[in-house]
Structure 1
Amino acid sequence: MNPCRVLVIEDHALVREALVRALDQLDQPCFHAQAASAAEALALVEAGQEFDLVLTDLMLPDMSGFSLLSVLAHRFPTIPVVVISALSDEASVKRALKAGAAGFISKALSSEQLIAALRAVLRGDVVTPDLHQPAPVAPRPIRKRGVEPLAEQYGLTTAQTRVMELMVEGRTNREIADLLGLAEGTVKVHCSAILRALGVPNRAQALVVLGRQGLRA
């Protein structure tokens, strides 16, 4: 199993160490880099270091975490960014998700809850402070025939499956985001996960693969 590459952005050393310890308790090996500020984090990413996940606080010494989310979503849209913050009120959560966060985890969690939330994030789920379960997405009135077996075959999460259905309908990322109540950056993360699962380089080839297996608009 390839190690998961995680960047932890947190200016408090004790909190950073706690997050790193939690990462070490996951079911897969993790390589982790640490940054105490937005500037340090951006320097690491811009230097070409590849990350599968970024964990960031909102209260950073040199830049608002919301601003950092926007920068990362614009410049590095394929890297999922999850907020870990003491500010877990509804307004902050919604603002973070709108800015491009792929999830929001409260610092008030126990270590066991934190590990469970991180596992969900690494599966591709979107977690929020509401029990830190995958965030519900808008229900679809009609499920396409055969979508569940395909989702199971390729190991897709519930959120990824719904994104896949809308991809097949020819929806854009913005349309999918609006329909499912997600940030466009989160939809991009799900689309990238779907392409990896299907083993194809782009959306057009994904639609060909899915069409051959009977999933069509």
Structure 2
Amino acid sequence: MATPDSILIVDDHALVRDGMRTLLEGCFAQCNILEAANYAEAREALAGHADVDLVLLDLNIPDAKRFSALQGLREEHPAVPVVMVSGTLDGSAVREALSAGAAGFIPKSLKRDQIVEALRQVLAGEIYVPDFDFAEEASTGEEVAIRQRIATLTPQQKVVLGLLVSGRLNKQIAYELDVSMTTVKAHVSAILQKLNVFSRTQAVILANRVNFPG
């Protein structure tokens, strides 16, 4: 892989830019390192330097929203790979960045040698994706949503849900709670609506996913 002629660092924190500059200079001795503190400066830098081989773009810069800077740079300079750099590793952000045309996503928490290897992959024409369990993250997000739905239940509805999880029939629930069948049916109907499911079986499945006590 040839040494890049020029790399542009876009980050509003001078300390971060200095750290990245030091890393790049140690890795690519003959490379010209450019800096920009925001999207506007990044556009100016790219307009004035046709030899930029790579852009390292921070996810959060003051004059851009989410991936608007990435989309703008990709539209104006489609031949220049742009790697998103972020202080946090968020699966949804990684997916959005790649969908918006990023050539990679580098968490700032990566070790120096891992960052260097990631950059080498991108400069070699590959897409760098951090080692991250996206399936686990998606599962965790779904469980959070389930807990949020359960949290909307009234105390009595939570009791009824717990009895459903335990396998109780409506008449058994009515007996244990000393209420009428009509009241139990009303509770079950409200539970299904709040959990956004169509049957008591689905409600039990959701409850079991988050280990709701039965």
Compared with structure 1, are the counterparts of its residues 114 and 17 closer, same or farther at alpha carbon in structure 2 (3 Å cutoff)? same
C-alpha separation between the residues in 2 aligned to 1:47 and 1:27? Answer: 21
Q: What does residue 140 of structure 1 align with?
A: none
- In the alignment, does 2:91 pair up with 1:66? no
| TM-score, normalization by structure 2 | 0.57
Compared with structure 1, are the counterparts of its residues 65 and 28 closer, same or farther at alpha carbon in structure 2 (3 Å cutoff)? farther
Deviations 1:134-184 (A, max 9, x none): xxxxxxxxxxxxxxxxxxxxxxxxxxxxxxxxxxxxxxxxxxxxxxxxxxx
**Structure 1 segment 98-109 matched on structure 2, within 5 A:** 98-109=99-110
Q: Secondary structure at the match of 1:60?
A: coil
The alignment covers a number of residue pairs equal to 131
Hey, which of these two has a bigger chunk of helix by percent? 2
Higher relative contact order (CA 8 A, sep 6+): 1
Q: What does residue 22 of structure 1 align with?
A: 23
Give % identity.
41
C-alpha separation between the residues in 2 aligned to 1:48 and 1:35? Answer: 13
C-alpha separation between the residues in 1 aligned to 2:74 and 2:112? Answer: 28
C-alpha separation between the residues in 2 aligned to 1:104 and 1:75? Answer: 20
Name structure 2 gaps, 5 residues minimum.
Answer: 133-214
**Structure 1 segment 110-125 matched on structure 2, within 5 A:** 110-125=111-126
Conservation of the 8 A alpha-carbon contact between 1:11 and 1:61: yes
Q: What does residue 14 of structure 2 align with?
A: 13
Q: Considering only CA atoms, is the larger Rg found in Structure 1 or Structure 2?
A: 2
79-88 vs 32-41, which deviates more?
79-88
Q: Secondary structure at the match of 2:9?
A: strand
Q: Secondary structure at the match of 1:82?
A: strand
Deviations 1:20-63 (A, max 9, x none): 11111225621110000111001112235431110010100111
C-alpha separation between the residues in 2 aligned to 1:24 and 1:52? Answer: 15
| TM-score, normalization by structure 1 | 0.56
